[in-house]
Structure 1
Amino acid sequence: MMGKLLGAVILLSALAAGIAIYYFQVYGFYTEVEPHGTDDVMLTSMTTGEREPIPYDAFRAIDADSSPIRYRACFSTRQSLDALDGAFAPYEGAAPRVAPGWFDCFDAEEIGDALADGSALAFLGQRNIEYGIDRVVAVFDDGRGFVWHEINDCGDKAYDGSPVDETCPDRPN
């Protein structure tokens, strides 16, 4: 009888832990980001290297303090893809990260497919928004846009313990 009781306690504890881990991973750490209204979507200019806002509306975003790569945003813009392509720095090798299912405006698979077939382009939003993390902005030819964070080369090196070269900025203390 004592073995069955102990087994039930272990099973219930494991179930409770699993539910808690799932909740915190999918819901618990995320918060809605309040839009600023003018500078939520910024791209890096190819001519000046400075960040510039682009016109946008319908902005929605989520973020979490638990990881620098949990930021996701959706928006729409009236700016043509051709105009953006000529003015702003492209982001090579962009690979959107999956968002929680409840943040339904962000579909990483659709974004990745559009980047691959050329119906969307990826731009540098901000290099090293946090050390080793870049903000990437993708815009579809129909005006839909998406933002996420990616680990850059300096971040890859710093996080896996490889020596960081001189092209990387100084790491903050």
Structure 2
Amino acid sequence: MGKFLALILILSALAAGGAMYYLQVYGFYEDVQLQPGRDVALVPLGGGEAQPIAYSEFEAIDAGSSPIRYRACFTTMVTPDELAQVFTLSDKLEPRNAPGWFDCFDAAAIGARLADGSAKAFLSVKNISYGVDRIVAVTDEGRGYIWHELNDCGQKAYDGTVVGEECPPRPEAGQAPETGQAEE
């Protein structure tokens, strides 16, 4: 009887572990529908609403389970140096990892390109979700990448530090954050 119970416990643990792995790597992600003129936009140097840039070959994934799971790839004919003359650069130079099956987004390679200067990162949308900014990186070859990153307010809010007056008020549960973009 003891061996039977041990076998049940082991099989249950394996099934639970397999389910957790699947849900983290595959289960919650969905393809993002193309929204021409809104998929790739950058904040101008003087601030204000994000402006779209020309792009093609756009593909993206997102998950409703977390505001930082968004990843996207695209191509553009505009160089990073041309973009830097008009749009706000970002200091976020370490993209978050994407699931291995989303093979256009290699966070380590993108981070290396940002570190060696062959790519530049730009602010796309400030507070796309409370405490989360959208970052766009563009390489010298015209490959572009998008991810979400915690901003200072988000890091404070999620680690338990007092947020302070410089951060906007946190939205109530069920209330959509103000992002400067129309919600659908």
* TM-score (norm. length: structure 1): 0.97
CA RMSD of aligned residues (A): 0.9
Tell me how far apart the structure 2 counterparts of residues 145 and 21 of structure 1 sit (CA, whole Å): 31
| Identical aligned residues as a percent | 59
Structure 1 residue ranges without an equivalent (≥5): none
Aligned pairs for 1:118-157 within 5 A: 118-157=117-156
Tell me how far apart the structure 1 counterparts of residues 28 and 84 of structure 2 sit (CA, whole Å): 35
Tell me, yes or no, if the aligned pair for 1:43 and 1:89 is still in contact at 8 Å.
Answer: yes
**Structure 1 range deviating more: 89-98 or 69-78:** 89-98
Tell me how far apart the structure 2 counterparts of residues 17 and 122 of structure 1 sit (CA, whole Å): 39
Tell me, yes or no, if the aligned pair for 1:51 and 1:126 is still in contact at 8 Å.
Answer: yes
1:4–1:48 Cα change, 3 Å = closer
- Deviation per CA, 1:4-43, whole angstroms, max 9, x where unpaired? 1011101100110111011000000000001112220000
Tell me, yes or no, if the aligned pair for 1:78 and 1:143 is still in contact at 8 Å.
Answer: yes
Tell me how far apart the structure 2 counterparts of residues 33 and 152 of structure 1 sit (CA, whole Å): 23
- The aligned counterpart of 1:100 is 99
Task: Please report how far the alpha carbon of residue 139 of structure 1 lies from its aligned counterpart in structure 2 after TM superposition.
Answer: 0.3
Task: Please report how far the alpha carbon of residue 171 of structure 1 lies from its aligned counterpart in structure 2 after TM superposition.
Answer: 1.3
Tell me how far apart the structure 1 counterparts of residues 59 and 72 of structure 2 sit (CA, whole Å): 5
Instruction: Confirm whether residue 35 of structure 1 aligns to residue 34 of structure 2.
Output: yes
Tell me, yes or no, if the aligned pair for 1:94 and 1:136 is still in contact at 8 Å.
Answer: no
- The aligned counterpart of 1:5 is 4
Q: How many residues align?
A: 172
- The aligned counterpart of 1:67 is 66
Tell me how far apart the structure 1 counterparts of residues 127 and 18 of structure 2 sit (CA, whole Å): 35
Task: Please report how far the alpha carbon of residue 48 of structure 1 lies from its aligned counterpart in structure 2 after TM superposition.
Answer: 4.4
